[in-house]
Structure 1
């Protein structure tokens, strides 16, 4: 099968796997850092992985636009189809020898993500969706993703920005009695954790911020939605509306408990 003959979902998987191979191959080697802003940088692995992914996408879908975290926008600004590429989510983890990273590829058509893949370079797992159902591909075998609240583990993103502070502070949520009564917090610092909600490895994921068309979050959100998770903004509103933020929960009960904890935190 060539990339031209494959579906968009298979192309997303192939591109994410190719990027993951670069990330895996460069792990532990000396890496040049490219400063982007205060406290934010890319490594040579980010740049090489993104080039590999973008080359695959542009070759297979030459009329599609691409937005890469490092290279920015390629193709027509008005393109109906746009690929969102995060070549190494968890750069700081990776740069200090931590393997908790993800390679994310998603395809947006209008306001909908119709294909997405999130690859773990070190487990050689790929979480993917063609928009209707979500799967885990491991050793060439696809298994449907099944969300589960059983672990009670909730990842909370503590990276800035925090647009809803002081009404909502992710760090305060970790100590809220309504949170600790039900859940155990985790801080992974990569959107691989969003895919883990879809896969039943986490009960939920919570973050502040405005995430529409985010190269970091598009793939994970598509996976959670296709797997049947409850996905809303931070106050339960439709995703990407109002105050923004994200709650991705395995089931309605987990979602309701997190909403209650957030309401308690923001109450006068």
Structure 2
């Protein structure tokens, strides 16, 4: 029987999560990628496990892995995006806040995705219509909620919209402290938590189209009914970029207002000079 794309995403993410869990705590080889960024042997092995599952079920599909790059036909209509260990710096420091992300881009959109937590055993997944958390083989529909008032903010570079927008500056706004409480998890598992009602919102800078880190969890949150836009409220993947994922419209509106506080208002003299 042919496995569905949604179930394949789950199975692939679980395969990667099993590797991440098994290698946790070991002394792992590191492979430098850029200043302050590296992969570990666990990243490499987890990506191999994920891709093996995809290749066995969909040999004609293309795959883009964070560590191995693109493989498969250049003309393939279907592309799997694989982030085998989101939170490598956490993992290398023996911090269990990590995720394994798998997403399928078919045509112009993400049609299936899964984000697995290797240590809780949960998998957050969508088939484009439903958004669920799977625990011990049982699926539960995801229900976003602003009740926690916790907002996760990604402070990792790059910051393409600086100096006009800096996520770190958002935390210093008195209005933020009046309404929300910040969290910095440094893994896209926190984006899935917005869909699950464990975070009120998530904010990051960056250009995220076809990002192996973000593509799947963005689709998950959209399927769960979250409010998902760029940092200035524009449709996601357009304009300035960035990402605001909120559990509801009220939270989203409040965050856009706080982000708007960072944009300098030109004085009359500035306006005259630029005209």
User: Aligned match of 1:42 in 39, 43, 64?
Assistant: 39
Contact 1:176 1:265 in 2 (8 A): no
- In structure 2, C-alpha distance between the alignment counterparts of 1:105 and 1:135, rounded to whole Å: 15
Contact 1:178 1:260 in 2 (8 A): no
1:82 corresponds to which residue?
A: 79
2:133 corresponds to which residue?
A: 136
CA displacement, residues 208-237 of structure 1 (integer Å, 9 cap, x when unaligned): 000000000011101100000000000000
How many residues are aligned here?
265
Shift of 1:80: 1.1
2:226 corresponds to which residue?
A: 229
- In structure 2, C-alpha distance between the alignment counterparts of 1:251 and 1:211, rounded to whole Å: 21
1:108 corresponds to which residue?
A: 105
Contact 1:154 1:205 in 2 (8 A): yes
Once structures 1 and 2 are overlaid, which stretch shifts more, 226-235 or 176-185? Answer: 176-185
1:172 corresponds to which residue?
A: 169
Segments of 4+ in structure 1 off by > 2 A? none
- In structure 2, C-alpha distance between the alignment counterparts of 1:62 and 1:259, rounded to whole Å: 43
Shift of 1:77: 2.4
- In structure 1, C-alpha distance between the alignment counterparts of 2:201 and 2:108, rounded to whole Å: 24
- In structure 2, C-alpha distance between the alignment counterparts of 1:7 and 1:267, rounded to whole Å: 49
1:194 corresponds to which residue?
A: 191
- In structure 1, C-alpha distance between the alignment counterparts of 2:237 and 2:211, rounded to whole Å: 11
- In structure 2, C-alpha distance between the alignment counterparts of 1:178 and 1:64, rounded to whole Å: 47
Contact 1:153 1:185 in 2 (8 A): yes
Contact 1:103 1:121 in 2 (8 A): yes
- RMSD across aligned C-alpha pairs, in angstroms? 0.8
2:95 corresponds to which residue?
A: 98
User: Aligned match of 2:148 in 130, 147, 151?
Assistant: 151
Q: Which runs of 5+ in 1 are unaligned?
A: none
Q: Which runs of 5+ in 2 are unaligned?
A: 266-275
Shift of 1:54: 0.5
- In structure 2, C-alpha distance between the alignment counterparts of 1:165 and 1:179, rounded to whole Å: 19
Contact 1:208 1:245 in 2 (8 A): yes
1:57 corresponds to which residue?
A: 54
Tell me whether 1:161 sits opposite 2:149 in the alignment.
Answer: no
TM-score normalised to structure 1 length: 0.98
Give the SS at the match of 1:181. Answer: helix
